[in-house]
């Protein structure tokens, strides 16, 4: 199973996602890190990504080549992350046939009502449980 982890800026959220996925110790998943910039990609690779690429074309191209896409909710919003997520990237990710697991981080003017009490650690835990249930199918 191919899992794409997409992030921008410094890749901090993506790094935490990769580390959590690596903790599953599964040989049947390939973690492909896709950074909106080279720093995000490099940091996610250091966190344990199996392979990685950077930029709009890489993200657009790979969006249809993976089974699961994981990242902050901002990856499906054009011009988010200080403009790093282009409209083309957002459309490719949102319209991909891959299962999308999006973390509702409210740093890009998005706020999901009802999640105010959740801490990021809880969201990461829930994300890993969802990945486990997908892998068991």
4 in the Ramachandran plot: left (φ > 0), alpha (ψ -120 to 50) or beta? Answer: beta
- How distant is the alpha carbon of residue 116 from its chain centre? 21
Of 120 and 7, the one with more pLDDT: 7
- Residue 88 scores a pLDDT above 70: yes
User: What pLDDT, on a 0 to 100 scale, did the predictor assign at position 123?
Assistant: 87
Closest CA to 58 of 25, 95, 86: 86
Give me the number of domains the chain comprises.
Answer: 1
The CATH number of residue 62's host domain is 3.40.50
User: What pLDDT, on a 0 to 100 scale, did the predictor assign at position 38?
Assistant: 96
Q: Which domain holds residue 111?
A: 2-136
> For the chain, what is the mean pLDDT?
92
Q: Please state which of the ranges 59-63, 80-84, 95-99 shows the lowest mean pLDDT.
A: 80-84
Give the residue-averaged pLDDT of 109-126.
79
User: What pLDDT, on a 0 to 100 scale, did the predictor assign at position 120?
Assistant: 82
- Residue 107 scores a pLDDT above 70: no
Q: Tokens in use for 39?
A: 């720093």
Q: How confident is the model at residue 106 (pLDDT cuts 50, 70, 90)?
A: low
Q: Which residues have C-beta within 8 Å of that of residue 81, sequence separation ≥ 6?
A: 8, 9, 36, 74, 108
Quickly list H helices, the chain: 12-22, 38-46, 56-63, 87-95, 120-136
Q: Is 92 exposed, middle or buried (0-12, 13-18, 19+ CB in 10 A)?
A: buried
| Residue-wise pLDDT tens digits, 6-36 | 998 889 999 999 999 999 999 999 999 999 9
User: What pLDDT, on a 0 to 100 scale, did the predictor assign at position 43?
Assistant: 97
> Cβ distance 22 to 31 under 8 Å?
yes
């Amino acid at each position: 199973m191919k899992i794409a982890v997409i992030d921008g800026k410094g890749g901090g959220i993506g790094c935490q996602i990769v580390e959590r996925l690596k903790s599953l110790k599964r040989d049947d998943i390939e973690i492909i890190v896709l950074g909106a910039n080279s720093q995000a990609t490099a940091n996610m690779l250091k966190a344990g990504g199996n392979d990685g690429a950077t930029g709009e074309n890489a993200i657009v191209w790979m969006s249809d080549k993976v089974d699961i896409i994981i990242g902050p909710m901002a990856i499906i919003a054009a011009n988010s992350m200080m403009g790093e997520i282009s409209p083309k990237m957002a459309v490719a990710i949102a319209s991909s046939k891959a299962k999308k697991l999006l973390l509702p981080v409210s740093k890009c003017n998005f706020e999901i009502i009802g999640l105010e009490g959740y801490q990021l650690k809880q969201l990461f835990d829930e994300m890993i449980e969802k990945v486990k249930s997908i892998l068991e199918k």
